[in-house]
Amino acid sequence: MGWRKAAAWLLSGPLGMPPITFSKGDLDSMGGFLMDLDTKGVTTKLTGIPLQVHCSATKHLVDSYRQTYTKIPDYWRTCNKILDCMHRGVKHQFGCVSTEHERLCLPNGLALQYKDLKGDEDDNWRYFGRNKERHFIHGAKLCENIIQALARIVMTDAMLKIPYKVVMTVHDEIVCVVREEESEDAAGVIEDVMSQSPAWAKDLPVACEVGISKSYGEAK
């Protein structure tokens, strides 16, 4: 499926909006952007109208998504407030996470560290991270950090409850080794454990699928 068909499918399907046609004026408005790209040699293989339509369609998709699911950009703005609280050392509870000076405290007692967190008037934040380098962060990126940290807690809590040998994890998967004659019972136990909402988010919908096989690849 080409990007044109994909854009039309998204606009007419999941986002509930009809495909749109861009006027020449819409495309001309992208000229400055294209000139900036051309100076960096980015548009060597894809130039002119195709790229202009692609960029315009992409922006429309992004704007439509954010207008449809307003709670997502709303939480990004909340995350900007979280960054400010960490910078100022304000202790405040935001749902299941809370802030301290340059720390975001998680519900399991651990914390995400944002050392020497500093921002400017445009909500551009930077902190010292890995390799002693300053890393850029903003509300949406912090949101991703929070989601990944909380997802890890859900996973590790489940691992501690599973009464079978856990041999590895892959992203949001837990792989266990059990006796063949126990496999059906074990699958039921593991599915039940991995479908339990955590105590700190009892209304969080959690579900999983279980596969049984003699190899990891066949179980997927």
**Structure confidence by residue, pLDDT tens digits, 133-191:** 899 999 999 999 999 999 999 999 999 999 999 999 988 899 999 999 999 999 999 99
Is the residue at 154 inside a domain? no
Task: Between 176 and 46, name the one with better pLDDT.
Answer: 176
Q: Point out the domain boundary residue: 149, 181, 209.
A: 149
**Three-class SS state of 33:** helix
Q: Point out the domain boundary residue: 68, 87, 115.
A: 68
- Judged on CB neighbours under 10 Å (0-12, 13-18, 19+), 150 is buried
Same domain, 180 and 140: no
pLDDT band at 130 (very low <50, low <70, confident <90, very high): confident
pTM > 0.85: no
Is the residue at 155 inside a domain? no
pLDDT band at 54 (very low <50, low <70, confident <90, very high): low
Closest CA to 187 of 216, 210, 214, 217: 210
Same domain, 59 and 86: no
8 A C-beta contact, residue 49 and residue 4: no
Provide the residue range defining the domain that includes 57.
3-68
- Judged on CB neighbours under 10 Å (0-12, 13-18, 19+), 116 is exposed
